[in-house]
Amino acid sequence: MLIILTKLKKAVLLVIDVQNDFCPGGTLEVKDGDGVVPVINRIMGEFPKVAATQDWHPQNHVSFASNHRGMSAFDSVSINGIDQVLWPDHCVQGTEGADLHPDLDKRYFDIILRKGTAPGLDSYSAFFENDKTTSTGIEYYLKGLGIEAVYVCGLATDFCVFYSVMDSVEIGFKTTLIVDAARGVDFPEGSIEKAVANMRSAGVKVVKSEEVLPA
């Protein structure tokens, strides 16, 4: 009973893309990506609701450099007026690389949202695809639960975490980044620092995981 009472009220922990391909040894590895796993496992129980996302691309996905003749990974292109960084093939539907990290404690996940499933459109944010208008539906799931506060963690700080955080603020959720429970690609170099600064400017609270644990 005590434990339930200490939980953060009307809050969700949003766990972004903690998948094998974003961890060391994966095709789009984030430095120390798996370092978020023990931190997330430690804090998950404090939240009444936990929502996880999974980047979940078809093999012919527009974000893969391999699907663009003459282009290389980390090149940038514009597709239908949307800037797109081209990535190595990653998080292909049904592959081990797309699986959530084996040590991540999935017992707490109330919902797992898959995104980036349309071949022609990428989806960094948990809330909107990269056209900024196509909803993933999770806004309404969270609103339906009466959620007011969104705590974001996972991978990558400068891409999917960043866009999820910014959309969360825009939607009107009180939004917090749990900074030691996130790691970034840092492409181009400096982009993690820039992303955190931009989040702060947008009114996002930036905290360490110990601040969400009971004293």
Amino acid making up residue 56? W
Partner from ligand VGL, Zn ion, none contacting 160, C-beta within 5 to 8 A by type? ligand VGL
Please name which of 211, 165, 152 lies closest in space to residue 13, comparing C-alpha atoms.
152
Q: Which of 19/46 has CB closer to ligand VGL? A: 19
The residue annotated as part of the active site, out of 17, 34, 55, 122, is: 17
* 9 catalytic residue (yes or no): no
Q: Which of 151/163 has CB closer to Zn ion? A: 163
* 17 catalytic residue (yes or no): yes
Is 12 among the residues that bind ligand VGL (CB under 6 A)?
no
Is 127 among the residues that bind ligand VGL (CB under 6 A)?
no
> Which residues, 6+ apart, have CB-to-CB distance to 5 below 8 Å?
none
Q: Which of 15/156 has CB closer to ligand VGL? A: 156
Contact string (CB under 6 A) for ligand VGL, positions 34-63, x = contact: ---------------------x--------
* 160 catalytic residue (yes or no): yes
Question: In this structure, are residues 193 and 182 in contact, taking their beta carbons and an 8 Å threshold?
Answer: no
Is 86 among the residues that bind ligand VGL (CB under 6 A)?
no
Residues at the site binding ligand VGL, with contacts judged by CB under 6 A? 17, 22, 55, 87, 155-156, 159-160
